[in-house]
Structure 1
Amino acid sequence: MNNFKFSENIESYLVSAKDIFISKIASGIKTRDELFTSLYNTLLLPGYFGFNWDALFDCLRDFHWIDEYLVIIVHEDLPTLSEEELRIYLHLLADACLDWKIDEEHKLEIVFPESVRCKVEHLLSAD
């Protein structure tokens, strides 16, 4: 789970700092469309974003529209998607994080509340 972090204090990640772009994914997301819309709005995704898993992965591997080096996606809670869609989302995030190399112009980190650590780890290891 490279670059996945779990925190008791999610608010500490929401403090702006130099060279950090923060995307806050609010709690209460219940559908894939709500998740895509939240990511579109908070990551300032380009207008050509296709609102599907492939398009999300492509955008999480580009960030040419973001000036800051570190991009952090902070989840207030785990989206309440179906287990299959949640597994897809978590694997997509993990793969996107792993795909960024040290010498590239961005780094991606993902933050979840500590309270969902077991569920995230279970879903990522259940395959």
Structure 2
Amino acid sequence: MMQGGGVYRAPANLARGLELSPEVHCQRLPAASCGSRDALLDALASGLAFPDHFGHNWDAAWDCMTELTWNDDKPRIILCPLVDESADSGLDNEVLPAPMAAFLEVMGDACAHWSAHERTLYVIIVHQDGRVPTWLSTIEPFPGHQVLA
């Protein structure tokens, strides 16, 4: 089993397969607009059952991410589906939206935190099969075959 974790991207069909794998604990967040800080924080809070006192800011998200619990040594995978942003959404598919940049930073830091504590956390940005926004192509594809080996 691959150790370390990290932030990756994957097509929806691979994400569906991960949800069925007995080798990992998989949680799917509600789809959220990558251009909305509030939508991303709400998806985290509801998808991971953050406590009621969650402050709905990036620092509070970091705190909650570092307080996740593990029932065993299986890697945890958090699937983060992208909302299909249409051309009229005002978002540029080539430029990483600032809220998503902050989200990715917090998630990357959380993965590093858990790796230092000998736990494996993957955060996977799920895109539609065959449709990868330009900004997302800078994130490595999920090495599923290595993780599930």
Is the contact between residue 30 and residue 81 of structure 2 (CA under 8 Å) also seen in structure 1?
yes
Rg larger in structure: 2
In the aligned structure 2, how far is the partner of 1:78 from the partner of 1:91? 19
Give 1:25 deviation, angstroms.
3.5
Deviations 1:49-97 (CA, angstroms, capped at 9, x unpaired): 1110000011111114x64553321122268687222211111111111
Q: Which residue of 2 aligns with 1:91?
A: 105
Give 1:28 deviation, angstroms.
4.7
1:7 to 2:10 alignment:
yes
In the aligned structure 1, how far is the partner of 2:21 from the partner of 2:116? 22
Identity of aligned residues (%): 23
Greater RCO (CA < 8 Å, at least 6 residues apart): 2
Q: Which residue of 2 aligns with 1:24?
A: 29
In the aligned structure 1, how far is the partner of 2:84 from the partner of 2:106? 14
Q: Which residue of 2 aligns with 1:111?
A: 124
Select between 24-33 and 89-98 the one with higher mean Cα deviation. Answer: 24-33
In the aligned structure 2, how far is the partner of 1:21 from the partner of 1:100? 16
Unpaired stretches in structure 2, ≥5 consecutive residues: 86-90, 140-149
1:30-45 alignment, distance < 5 Å: 30-45=35-50
Is the contact between residue 72 and residue 108 of structure 1 (CA under 8 Å) also seen in structure 2?
yes
Is the contact between residue 27 and residue 79 of structure 1 (CA under 8 Å) also seen in structure 2?
no
In the aligned structure 2, how far is the partner of 1:79 from the partner of 1:57? 26
